[in-house]
Amino acid sequence: MPSTINFGIDLGTSNSLIAKYSNGTVEVFKNPNGFKETLPSVVGFRNDRILIGDQARTYLQRDPKSVASRFKRKMGTTETFKIKAIAASKTPVELSALILKELKSFVHTGENFEDVVITIPASFDTVQSNATKEAGALAGFKNVILLQEPIAASLAFANKDKGADLKNSQWLVYDLGGGTFDVALVRIIEGELTVIDHEGDNFLGGSDFDAAIIEKLLVPELQKRGRFADLLAQMHSDSGKYNKLWHTLLPLAEAAKVELSTKTSAEIDLGTVSDLKDDDGNSIDSIITLSRSEFEQVIRDPVETTIDRMKRILTRNAIEPRDLKFILVVGGSTFIPYVRKRVEELMGIPVNAGIDPTNAICIGAAYYAGTKLKQVIRTTSPVASKLIVRASFSKVSQDSEETFTAKIEGDVTDLSYRITSGDGSFDSGLKTLASRIVEDLPLRQAAFNEFHLKVFDKQGSPVPIDLGPIQIAQGKYSVVGQMLPDDLSLVKDDLVAKDTRLELLFRKNGVLPAEAKKVVEVSKTIVLGSDDSIRIMVVEGPATRHSSTNKPIGVLSISGKQISKDLFKGTEIDLTFDMSESRDLTVSAFLNGTGQQFSQVFTPKQREVSPQLLASEILHLEEKVQAEFDDATATGDERTAAELGKVLNGVQDLIGMAADLSQDDVTDKKYQLEDRKRKLAQDVHELTSGKRLSMVRVAYEEAKRETADLVMKSGNDREKHQFAEIVSREKSFVNSNSPDKIQIVVDELFRIGFGILMRTPDFLKNIFASLVDRRASMNDEVLASQLIDSGKRAVASDDVEALRTINGRLINLLPAADQASDEMRAFTGII
- What are 7-31's pLDDT values in tens digits? 999 999 999 999 999 877 899 999 9
The most confident of 130-144, 375-389, 610-624, 817-831, by mean pLDDT: 130-144
Question: 734-771 burial by CB neighbour count: b if 16+ within 10 A, else e?
Answer: beeeebbebbbbbbbbbbbbbbbbbeeeebbbebbebb
| pLDDT computed for residue 228 by the predictor | 92
CA distance linking residue 245 with residue 214, whole number of Å: 10
For 168, left (φ over 0), alpha (ψ -120 to 50), or beta?
A: left
Q: How confident is the model over 219-248, as a mean pLDDT? A: 91
Looking at the chain, the whole-number percentage of residues with pLDDT higher than 70 is 94
Pick the CATH number of 168-351 from 3.40.50.300, 3.90.1560.10, 3.40.190.10, 3.30.420.40: 3.30.420.40
**Shortest CA distance to 495 belongs to which of 528, 522, 466, 459?**
522
Q: How confident is the model over 576-597, as a mean pLDDT? A: 90
| pLDDT computed for residue 509 by the predictor | 87
In this structure, which topology does domain 484-598 adopt according to CATH?
Substrate Binding Domain Of DNAk; Chain A, domain 1 (2.60.34)
Q: How confident is the model over 284-296, as a mean pLDDT? A: 92
* Residue 378 clears pLDDT 50, i.e. is over it: no
CA distance linking residue 671 with residue 607, whole number of Å: 9
pTM of the entire predicted model? 0.76
Contacts (Cβ under 8 Å, ≥6 apart) of 249:
214, 218, 268, 273
Among 302-316, 474-488, 704-718, the least confident range: 474-488
For the chain, report the end-to-end CA distance as a whole number of angstroms: 60
CATH architecture of 7-160: 2-Layer Sandwich (3.30)
| pLDDT computed for residue 499 by the predictor | 64
| pLDDT computed for residue 713 by the predictor | 86
Looking at the chain, the whole-number percentage of residues with pLDDT higher than 90 is 45
* Residue 90 clears pLDDT 50, i.e. is over it: yes
| pLDDT computed for residue 822 by the predictor | 46
DSSP string, 765-806: HHHHHHHHHTGGG-S-HHHHHHHHHHHHHHHHHT-HHHHHHH
Binned at pLDDT 50, 70 and 90, residue 161 comes out as low
Backbone angles phi, psi at 629, to 5 degrees: -65, -45
- What are 731-741's pLDDT values in tens digits? 888 877 677 77
List the beta bridge partners of residue 89. 82
| pLDDT computed for residue 164 by the predictor | 60
Task: Give kind and range of the element (H or E) at residue 68.
Answer: strand 67-69
Contacts (Cβ under 8 Å, ≥6 apart) of 112:
none
Which position has the higher pLDDT, 822 or 430?
430
CA distance linking residue 71 with residue 258, whole number of Å: 21
Which position has the higher pLDDT, 762 or 261?
261
Report the 10 Å Cβ neighbour count for 36.
14
Q: In whole numbers, what is the pLDDT of the chain averaged over residues?
A: 87
Residue type, 117: V
Under DSSP, the state recorded for 205 is: S
Cα Rg, the chain, nearest whole Å = 31
- What are 685-710's pLDDT values in tens digits? 778 777 777 778 888 888 899 899 88
Under DSSP, the state recorded for 510 is: P
Q: How confident is the model over 663-686, as a mean pLDDT? A: 85
| pLDDT computed for residue 162 by the predictor | 59
* Residue 810 clears pLDDT 90, i.e. is over it: no
CA distance linking residue 789 with residue 792, whole number of Å: 5
Q: Determine whether 663 is exposed, middle or buried from the number of CB atoms within 10 Å of its CB (0-12, 13-18, 19+).
A: exposed
- What are 501-554's pLDDT values in tens digits? 788 999 988 888 899 999 888 877 888 888 888 888 898 988 877 777 788 888
Which position has the higher pLDDT, 546 or 94?
94
Q: 3-class DSSP state for residue 500?
A: strand
| pLDDT computed for residue 68 by the predictor | 94
What's the full length of the chain, in residues? 831
Q: How confident is the model over 87-94, as a mean pLDDT? A: 95
**Shortest CA distance to 827 belongs to which of 817, 815, 812?**
812
Beta-sheet strands, E only, within 507-645: 511-512, 514-521, 533-540, 551-559, 572-579, 585-591, 596-601
List the beta bridge partners of residue 82. 89
Binned at pLDDT 50, 70 and 90, residue 380 comes out as very low
| pLDDT computed for residue 632 by the predictor | 84
* Residue 830 clears pLDDT 50, i.e. is over it: no
Q: How confident is the model over 750-766, as a mean pLDDT? A: 83
CATH superfamily, domain at 388-479: Immunoglobulins (2.60.40.10)
* Residue 55 clears pLDDT 60, i.e. is over it: yes
Q: How confident is the model over 654-675, as a mean pLDDT? A: 87
CA distance linking residue 221 with residue 352, whole number of Å: 38
* Residue 142 clears pLDDT 90, i.e. is over it: yes
DSSP string, 738-765: -HHHHHHHHHHHHHHHHHHHTT-HHHHH
